[in-house]
Amino acid sequence: MAAKRRFQTVKGMHDLGGWMSLAFAFVEGKAREVFSLYGYDEVRTPIVEETELFVRGVGEGSEIVGKQMYTFDDKKGRSLTLRPEGTAPIARAYLQNDWPSSGPQPVKVFYMGPYFRYERPQEGRYRQFHQIGAELIGDPGPYSDVELLVMLLRFLEELGFEDLEVGLNSVGDPECRRRYSQRLREFLEPYRDELGADSRRRLETNPLRILDTKAPRERELLEGAPRLRDELGDPARDHFQVVCDELDRFGVDFEIDDGLVRGLDYYTRTVFEITSTALGAQNAILGGGRYDGLIAELGGPSVPGIGFAIGQDRLVDLVLKIPGARKRLNAEDHRRRPVCVIPIGGSYRRHGLVLAQELRAAGIPAICEFDSLRPLKARLKQAARYDCRWVVLFGEDEEKSGEVVLRDFSDRTQETIPRDGFAAAVAAKIRPDEQP
RNA sequence: GUGGGUGUAGCUCAACCGGUAGAGCGCUUGAUUGUGGUUCAAGUGGUUGGGGGUUCAAGUCCCCUCACCCACCCCA
Q: In this model, does residue A116 exceed pLDDT 70?
A: yes
Q: CA at A95, C1' at B43: how many angstroms apart?
A: 67
Q: How does residue A4 score in pLDDT terms, banded at 50, 70 and 90?
A: low
Cβ–Cβ < 8 Å for A282, A190: no
What domains lie within chain A, and their CATH numbers?
Answer: 18-173+232-327 (3.30.930.10), 336-434 (3.40.50.800)
Phi-psi region of A194 (alpha: psi -120 to 50; beta: other; left: phi over 0): alpha
Which nucleotide lies nearest residue A130, CA to C1'?
A: B76
Whether nucleic acid strand B comes within 7 Å of the CB of A310, the answer is yes
Which segment of A193-202, A266-275, A398-407 scores lowest on mean pLDDT? Answer: A193-202
ipTM for this prediction: 0.85
Bases of chain B below 7 A from a protein C-beta are 1-3, 27-30, 34-37, 67-76
Instruction: State the CB neighbour count (10 A cutoff) for residue A158.
Output: 14
pLDDT tens for each residue of A318-335: 998 888 888 788 776 655
Which nucleotide lies nearest residue A411, CA to C1'?
A: B37
Residue A237 burial by CB count (10 A; 0-12/13-18/19+): exposed, middle or buried? middle
CA angle centred on A128, ends A115 and A122, rounded to 5°: 125
Q: CA at A142, C1' at B21: how many angstroms apart?
A: 68
Q: How does residue A5 score in pLDDT terms, banded at 50, 70 and 90?
A: low
Mean pLDDT for A288-301 is 95
Which nucleotide lies nearest residue A129, CA to C1'?
A: B76
Q: CA at A1, C1' at B18: how many angstroms apart?
A: 34
Could you tell me which residues come within 8 angstroms of residue A131 by beta carbon, excluding any fewer than 6 positions away? Answer: A85, A86, A112, A113, A115, A309, A310, A311, A312
Whether nucleic acid strand B comes within 7 Å of the CB of A38, the answer is no
Which nucleotide lies nearest residue A215, CA to C1'?
A: B72
What pLDDT shows up at residue A361?
A: 95
Residues 120-139 of A with CB under 7 A from strand B: 120-126, 129, 131
B/e letters for A273-289, b = 16+ CB within 10 Å, e = fewer, are bbbbeebeebebbbbbb
A366's enclosing H/E stretch is strand A366-368
Name the nearest CA neighbour of A66 among A255, A218, A252, A265.
A265
What pLDDT shows up at residue A337?
A: 74
What pLDDT shows up at residue A436?
A: 41
Whether nucleic acid strand B comes within 7 Å of the CB of A64, the answer is yes
Q: CA at A295, C1' at B57: how many angstroms apart?
A: 71
Which nucleotide lies nearest residue A279, CA to C1'?
A: B76
Which nucleotide lies nearest residue A212, CA to C1'?
A: B74
What pLDDT shows up at residue A1?
A: 28
Q: CA at A115, C1' at B72: how many angstroms apart?
A: 23
List the single protein residue with the shortest CA to C1' distance from B70. A122
pLDDT tens for each residue of A166-223: 999 999 999 998 899 899 999 988 888 888 878 888 888 788 888 888 788 888 888 8
pLDDT > 70 fraction of chain A, expressed in percent and rounded = 96
Cα separation of A331 and A299, whole Å?
A: 48
Whether nucleic acid strand B comes within 7 Å of the CB of A276, the answer is no
Mean pLDDT for A69-83 is 95
Q: CA at A47, C1' at B66: how many angstroms apart?
A: 29
Helical residues (DSSP H) of A4-125, grouped into ranges: 18-37, 51-58, 63-67, 87-96, 99-102
Residues 331-350 of A with CB under 7 A from strand B: 344
Which nucleotide lies nearest residue A199, CA to C1'?
A: B73
Q: CA at A36, C1' at B72: how many angstroms apart?
A: 40
Cα separation of A181 and A187, whole Å?
A: 10
Which nucleotide lies nearest residue A124, CA to C1'?
A: B76
